[in-house]
Amino acid sequence: MILNKIVTSLITRPYRKQSASGILLLKKDSGRAGMTKRANIISVYIIGRNGRSEAGFTLVELMVTMVAFVLVISAASQMFTSLLTQFKQQSKIAETSIEGIVGLNILRQDISHAGLGLPWNVTGIVDSNGDDNIDFLDVVPDYSETAEAGYSPYNDAPNNPPSAFRSGDGAGPVGAGSDYLVIKSASASTDIAAGKNTRLTSALPPDHVRNWGLYTEDLENTDRVIVLSPGNSDDTFRSLIVTGGSYQPQYSTVASYSPADNTDVRMVYGISSSGTLRAPFNRSDYYISANNVPRCAAGTGVLVRATLVHSTGRFTEMPILDCVADFQVVYAMDNDEDGDFENGVGGDAYTNSLAGLTAEMIRTRVKEVQVYILAHEGQRDPSFTFNNFTGACDTCMLVGRSNVFGHDDFDLSNLADFDQYRWKLYTLAVQTENLR
């Protein structure tokens, strides 16, 4: 009743308010003729300064507009979410591809350089431990690569020359039967001095060492180095030079390791940029690690390169490739030692173990190292179904040459949501160029 009076009053005497833009008029719109009990609608009109009416919006119109706006925003959000998901997926795939190129190239170089700067013999020492043998234990009485669990089984015996390769078939800490690969050389480290080398001649003028004129190639005075003599017989080839009971001079004092004859040439290899050495080489271990695994399929890990720290005997992990399910290593062995590998001829064959082989046998027989890595590209994609299985069962992958030399039965179904990932097999076949 009161509202009807107010509205009737407004109709007979419209409310007017002067504003900067004109006059605000509130009036009642009556129902059309012939309609009964029609709800009256209150509209707002603005009477401009020029006298013309500028109509506003009804509440119903505003609500309809808001609903339409919400629907449009919702549709746009869904489209944006879909595009963002695809962008993230493709970005992760691209990231994995770049990791594969960079990381696996590091592995390739380490395999190719295995044996670089490794001593084969020792000279210039006495039988310091009284075992009637002149060997590496006499050179470094405290020679110990590492005592850290998981790494120490791949140490070389301290009285024997180091091996370029060591491996554990199925001994990896992550993955069902993944392998463990150890590479030893002067360059198998992230240290800035590792692998740098130069020649050393007689201390007589001119300069006894060769400087390359490049910061990335020249050794620093404080770098720890080893000196090798080329030798001329099985007992003297690549002999580790020992002077004054030490085999690890700083580069600034390397002149005392020069040959007496100015026609002789010795090789100097950088090992570490600081501190004393635990062994006359560097070491890198490759395996699947469970540490710092990013967003990957459950049951996978990170292929890492763990390098020996001489000052502590511990290892520092560097990621090589994320989301790795399996890692297999196969060796092409020239077992008849004729210089060539011909599978099945003269005893030549593939193997996944170097157990029982001496450093000399490994240098002579290993002609090629093949590496197989199973990993997934990108992140989980519920809209994708993987079906490119190559193994012995409907959900198996072939990782390696066969089930004997690797896996032909790596069953991905043991991993949660395995078919919603894009699995890829990386294969490396690297010739050994620095063993001999």
**Model pTM?**
0.79
Backbone φ and ψ for 269, nearest 5 degrees, come out as -120, 130
CB 256 within 8 A of CB 250: no
**Token output for 152:** 């120490």
Look-up: residue for tokens 């020792």?
A: 122
Question: Could you tell me the mean pLDDT of each successive run of 10 residues in the chain, 436 residues long?
Answer: 46 47 48 45 50 67 86 80 66 73 92 95 69 70 81 85 93 88 96 94 71 88 94 86 87 90 89 91 96 91 96 94 95 94 94 93 96 92 91 93 88 94 94 88
pLDDT, residue 369, reads: 97
pLDDT, residue 393, reads: 93
Handedness of CA 142, 145, 148, 152 (dihedral sign): negative
Between the CA atoms of 166, 168, 172 and 175, what dihedral angle is there, to the nearest 10 degrees? 130
The DSSP 8-state label assigned to residue 75 in this structure reads H
**Token output for 52:** 């013309």
CB 334 within 8 A of CB 365: yes
pLDDT, residue 2, reads: 46
